[in-house]
């Protein structure tokens, strides 16, 4: 099986504070490997319930099947003794619009560095049907500050992993 990351490439809505610029997706489409305190390209919030929604890149890989879709968020709070939780939703932007999946992270403890929160790999779009290109190309990622015990919650990177089976080529 092969994988590809679908990165944010457009803003839909936002309640978080931008560290600079005017585009949410531009702040969360690449990773920061240093500490939260030294990251100048991120989103921040102190309010529970703040959320943002981003469009994602299209899925363009040649494939024989789409085997799974999984949200990933790198977030953190560097306040001593603080905790936080992130909620994600995989949204359908097509008509009829709706929610494919809604998932809460476990409670995360604060640290100087970001935590990579990997959500459940979803093998179907509706509990029984395989994912389609159309569904992936209409996919949006919703991220919410579901809980924050104090201090500032930061988000530096978000994406969706698509696992797929490459097509089998015929021998001559």
77-95 pLDDT, tens per residue? 999 999 999 999 999 998 7
pTM: 0.95
113 and 144 in contact (C-beta within 8 Å)? no
Condensed to tens digits (0 to 9), the pLDDT of residues 91-146 reads: 999 878 899 999 999 999 999 999 999 999 999 999 999 999 999 999 999 999 99
Q: Is the pLDDT of residue 68 over 70?
A: yes
CA separation for the pair 158, 55 (Å, rounded): 11
What per-residue confidence (pLDDT) applies to 22?
94
- C-alpha dist (Å) from residue 118 to 18, 60, 71, 111, 166: 23, 23, 6, 17, 23
- C-alpha dist (Å) from residue 124 to 100, 120, 127: 9, 12, 5
> Which residues are registered as beta bridge partners of 96?
none
What per-residue confidence (pLDDT) applies to 34?
82
The secondary structure of the chain as a DSSP string is: -EEEEE-EEEEEEE-SEESSSS-HHHHSBS---SBGGG--S-EEE-STT-EEEEEE-------SEEEEEEEEEEEE--STT-EEEEEEEEEE-SSSPEEEEEEEPPPEE--SB-EEEE---BSSSSSSSPP-HHHHHTEEEEEEEEEE-SS-EEEEEEEEEEEEEPPPPPP-
């Amino acid at each position: 099986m092969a994988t590809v990351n679908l990165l944010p490439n457009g803003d839909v809505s936002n309640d978080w504070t931008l560290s600079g610029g005017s585009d949410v997706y531009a702040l969360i489409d690449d990773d920061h490997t240093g500490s939260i305190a030294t990251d100048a390209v991120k989103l921040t919030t102190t309010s529970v319930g703040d959320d943002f929604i981003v469009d994602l890149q299209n899925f363009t890989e040649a494939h024989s099947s789409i085997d799974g879709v999984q949200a990933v968020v790198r977030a953190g709070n560097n306040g001593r003794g603080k905790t936080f939780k992130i909620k994600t939703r995989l949204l359908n932007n097509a008509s009829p619009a709706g929610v494919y999946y809604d998932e809460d992270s476990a409670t995360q403890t604060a640290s100087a560095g970001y935590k990579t929160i990997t959500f459940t790999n979803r093998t179907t779009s509706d509990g029984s049907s395989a994912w389609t290109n159309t569904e992936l190309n209409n996919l949006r990622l919703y991220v919410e500050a579901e809980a924050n015990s104090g201090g500032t919650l930061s988000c530096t990177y978000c994406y969706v992993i698509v696992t797929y089976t490459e097509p089998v080529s015929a021998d001559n």
